[in-house]
A and B are shown apart, each in its own frame.
Chain A
Amino acid sequence: METGRLSPAAMVAITVLRVLVGWHFLYEGIAKLTSPSWSAVGYLKVSRGPFSGFFKYLASHPNLLANADLITMWGLTIVGALLILGLFTRLASLAGIGFVLLFYFANPPFVGYFYSLPSEGSYLIVNKNLVEVAALAVIFLTGSGRFAGLDRILHLLFSRRPRLAGA
């Protein structure tokens, strides 16, 4: 095997990772869409850390908040479905990274921060959001959709340039 190229087994593992992360996104999105009164307002209001000003600003402006709520609900749902299907995988991973980083920085588990809302685990700087960001980075960089996903079909149908060996 050439250096720098992942074995099919590794690619299968990354594809499984992609489907799992996609599943999580999709359900987070759909659960919000189907809840009659979901809004990010509570999460934004208790925001802490260097960017809390921005998040609190969002929470206190109904127009912005309504848009942020819509973007979050639909964004998570769409990104989730795309990741599962392996369609526009790189774009979806980037969008996913954007979303989760926002969630991470709204309430970051930084050293010296103590939250009263219970979370299901114990976190210091690294929480599951950050791990999901890293997972999405791997998915982005390995182009998992072209291994197993609709991107493979799209790519072969529409790519005009000759493919380079080992690319």
Chain B
Amino acid sequence: MTSITLTINGERRTVNVPPMKRLLDVLREDLHLTGAKEGCGEGECGSCSVLISRDGGPAELTNSCLVPVLQAEGAQITTIEGLAPADAAKLHPIQQCFLEHGGAQCGICTPGMVLATHHLLAKYPHPTLPQIQEGLAGNLCRCTGYMRIFEAVEAAAGASKAGKPGP
């Protein structure tokens, strides 16, 4: 067991876990943050996506199933639970757009899709369709057929254009 401190959704947390434990399992089992889902366990489906930044650097979309928790020591991690401001009763604009455009059905892929969209819009505030497709290529959805997700992303880009940027 190793004592590992990381910052999750703005809060410093310390866990005592084996250093090779997957970040995904630490989030779900030790920290009871079950928003990140396990789909494939091999970095192909994106349902375990989280955002990780280090030393104030840019938040990088990451498959938490492929991260040994020791590598996340000292990092700042945002999960779907932390995307909307904690004191806000509202959803994050990206979440709201997924809701309004039918971009979420069964919900397994949705946390990853929303975080991948957040990462995409940080890079390209007004993405083209190919940029959206590339940005979400690592997130698989078995329900929507993707078109409604693309519409939700376009709406979210429009929402930030209209002066409602995400945090």
Question: Do chains A and B stick together as partners?
Answer: no
What is the interface of chain A, defined by CB distance below 8 A to chain B? none
